[in-house]
C-alpha cells in the first residue's frame, strides 16, 4: 500500500511540473519589426514578452554600429508621429539589447507606442531604426481549436492522479479499520 501511495505522489508531482512547464511555454509575446531609417541598414526585431506586470524587451538588429552604444527607448506615438520617451531601454551594443520595463505588455499594445533606436548619445536626434508596437488582437468569442492539446492532457493526468490518490487513501483507511 505504501508503494501505491508513493507512486501516486510521484505521478501528481510529475503532472504538476508538466503543467507549470506548459504554462511557462505559453507566455505571451509580440514581435515588432524594426525598420531602418536614414539609410542606416539597421533592420531587425524587438521582441516584447510579458513577465507579469513587466515586459522584457529584446532588440536584435542587423548592421549594428560596432562599438557604439546606441540609445533606445519606447516612445509615445508612432514611427510616423513621434512622441517623447516613455520608457528608456538598455543601450544597443553590436545590435543587441535586453531590458525589463515596469509595464504590462497589454498596456503597451494600444497602438500608442513605438520602439526607437538612435545613432549615438551625441547624435540622439538621429534615429536609425523604428518599429510600431501593434494593437493587441482582440480575443475571439470562441477560441479556435489548435493542434496543441498539451494543457488538456496534463490537466487530465492531474485529475486521474488525484482520483487514484483518493482511491488509494480510501483503500488504506478501509484496510486499517477493517471490513
The string of pLDDT tens digits covering residues 103-150 is 999 999 999 999 999 999 999 999 999 999 999 876 555 555 454 455
Does residue 21 lie within any of the structural domains? no
| 128 and 153 fall within a common domain | no
Phi then psi dihedrals of residue 170, to 5 deg: -65, -45
CB 42 within 8 A of CB 36: yes
C-alpha cell at position 153: 492532457
pLDDT tens per residue, range 25-51: 446 999 999 999 999 999 999 999 999
Check whether residue 163 and residue 75 sit in a common domain.
no
Q: Is residue 119, in this structure, part of any structural domain at all?
A: yes
Give the domain range for residue 173. 149-179
Show the beta-strand stretches assigned E in 4-123. Answer: 29-36, 44-51, 54-61, 70-77, 82-92, 96-101, 113-118
Q: Are residues 75 and 127 in contact, defined by beta-carbon separation less than 8 angstroms?
A: no
Rounded CA-CA distance 103/76 in Å is 14
Tell if the pTM clears 0.75, that is, is over it.
no
114 assigned to some structural domain: yes
The 70-77 sheet, strands edge to edge: 82-92, 70-77, 113-118, 127-132, 29-36, 44-51, 54-61, 96-101
CA distance 113 to 38: 21
| Residues 50 and 96 grouped into a single domain | yes
Higher pLDDT, 146 or 152: 152
> Does any domain span residue 96?
yes
CA–CA distance, 124 with 9 (Å, rounded to integer): 59
In a domain? residue 45: yes
Amino acid at each position: 500500500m505504501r508503494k501505491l501511495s508513493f507512486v501516486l505522489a510521484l505521478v501528481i508531482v510529475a503532472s504538476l511540473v508538466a503543467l507549470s512547464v506548459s504554462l511557462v511555454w505559453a507566455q505571451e509575446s509580440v514581435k515588432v519589426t524594426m525598420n531602418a531609417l536614414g539609410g542606416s541598414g539597421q533592420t531587425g526585431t524587438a521582441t516584447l514578452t510579458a513577465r507579469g506586470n513587466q515586459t522584457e524587451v529584446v532588440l536584435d538588429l542587423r548592421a549594428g554600429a560596432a562599438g557604439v552604444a546606441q540609445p533606445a527607448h519606447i516612445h509615445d506615438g508612432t514611427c510616423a508621429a513621434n512622441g517623447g520617451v516613455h520608457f528608456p531601454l538598455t543601450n544597443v551594443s553590436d545590435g543587441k539589447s535586453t531590458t525589463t520595463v515596469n509595464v504590462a505588455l497589454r498596456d503597451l499594445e494600444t497602438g500608442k507606442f513605438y520602439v526607437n533606436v538612435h545613432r549615438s548619445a551625441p547624435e540622439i536626434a538621429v534615429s536609425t531604426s523604428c518599429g510600431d508596437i501593434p494593437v493587441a488582437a482582440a480575443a475571439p468569442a470562441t477560441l479556435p481549436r489548435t493542434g496543441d492539446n498539451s494543457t488538456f492532457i496534463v490537466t487530465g493526468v492531474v485529475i486521474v492522479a488525484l482520483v487514484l490518490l483518493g482511491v488509494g487513501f480510501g483503500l488504506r483507511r478501509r484496510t486499517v479499520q477493517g471490513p
